[in-house]
Amino acid sequence: MLPTAPDLKYFLMVAETLNIRRAAERLRLAQPSLSMAIKRVEDALGSPLFIRGKSGVRLTRTAQRFVPKARMLLEEWERICTEAAKDEAELRGRYVVGCPSDLALMIIPVFLPKLMHDHSALEIELQYGFSPHICEDVVSCRIDFGIVASPVMHPDLIIRPICHDEIRLWVSANGGHPTQDIKSDQAVLVYNPGIMGLSRPVGPEGPIIFARTVKTANFHVVASLVKSGVGIGLLPGRIAAFYGKSEFRPLATEILHIPHEICLVYRVDMQRSSASRQFAHELEALLFEAMKSRSTP
Which whole number is the average pLDDT over 73-80?
86
Within 61-192, where are the H helices?
A: 61-89, 101-118, 131-139
Nearest Cα residue to 162 out of 20, 297, 289, 21: 289
Between 198 and 35, the more confident residue is 35
Task: Give the Cβ contact number of residue 65 at 10 Å.
Answer: 12
What pLDDT, in 10s, does the model give residues 253-278?
778 888 889 999 999 988 777 778 88
Which CATH architecture group holds 5-89?
Orthogonal Bundle (1.10)
Nearest Cα residue to 169 out of 245, 256, 296, 261: 256
Domain 93-164+261-292 classification at class level: alpha beta
Which whole number is the average pLDDT over 216-242?
90
Which whole number is the average pLDDT over 146-154?
92
Supply the pLDDT for residue 118.
86
**Domain 165-259 adopts which CATH fold?**
D-Maltodextrin-Binding Protein; domain 2 (3.40.190)
Same fold for the pair 93-164+261-292 and 165-259: yes
Task: Give the Cβ contact number of residue 265 at 10 Å.
Answer: 21
pLDDT category of residue 297 using cuts at 50, 70 and 90: very low
pLDDT at 88 over 70: no
pLDDT at 245 over 60: yes
